[in-house]
Amino acid sequence: MQDCILLALYYIRHYPTFQVLGNVFGIQESYCHKVYSRYVRIIANVEKLPSRLDLIDNKRETLIVDVSEQPIERPVKHQKQYYSGKKKRHTIKAQIIACATTGKVLSVVCAKGKKHDFSVFKESRLPIHPNSKLLADSGYQGLKKHHENSMTPIKK
């Protein structure tokens, strides 16, 4: 069971092909896919994120918002939507909102790689408490219009 969980976490972290994953763990490619599919559901059920309403109901001191890009294999269809010009490869973006004091992840929103960081934030329409301070990087210029108590660095 420990090896199965390790296999699922290894796949999530490094995103290798199942053939490579099978070579690393010494098992068949099809069995790797079966183990991954089963255990990723178990991991998702164990690690629950708070609901969207938790952001508005519970006032947090400071929230941090940022987007990270995870490379993926080139999709067969709709390749342009996943192509990130910034990373020069096909990606999926994951916007994470975390509490600065506790480090707890409060929200994760995924989008296709071509979408701009601030567009992901606007389209997610997350209800954030008006008194919570929101810290973001320079990709979120114009955040003050959507959340008054926010800070972004000034672009050069």
Span 102-138, pLDDT tens digits: 887 888 888 888 888 888 888 888 888 888 888 998 8
- Calculate the alpha carbon distances from 53 to 19, 107, 119, 125 in Å: 41, 10, 21, 11
Q: What pLDDT does 156 receive?
A: 67
**Residues 6 or more apart in contact with residue 142 via CB below 8 angstroms:** 118
Q: Does residue 66 share a domain with residue 27?
A: no
* Strand 105-112, strand 89-99: pairing: antiparallel
> Which structural domain, as residue segments, surrounds residue 7?
2-46
Q: What pLDDT does 58 receive?
A: 67
Q: What pLDDT does 57 receive?
A: 65
Q: Does residue 128 share a domain with residue 86?
A: yes
User: Does 156 fall in a domain?
Assistant: no
% residues pLDDT > 70 (the chain)? 90
Q: Does residue 28 share a domain with residue 87?
A: no
- Mean pLDDT computed over 72-83: 85
Report the alpha-carbon distance of residue 154 to residue 156 in Å, rounded: 6
Q: Does residue 68 share a domain with residue 30?
A: no
Does 60 have pLDDT greater than 70? Answer: no
- Which tokens sit at 17? 């092909």
| Count of domains for the chain | 2
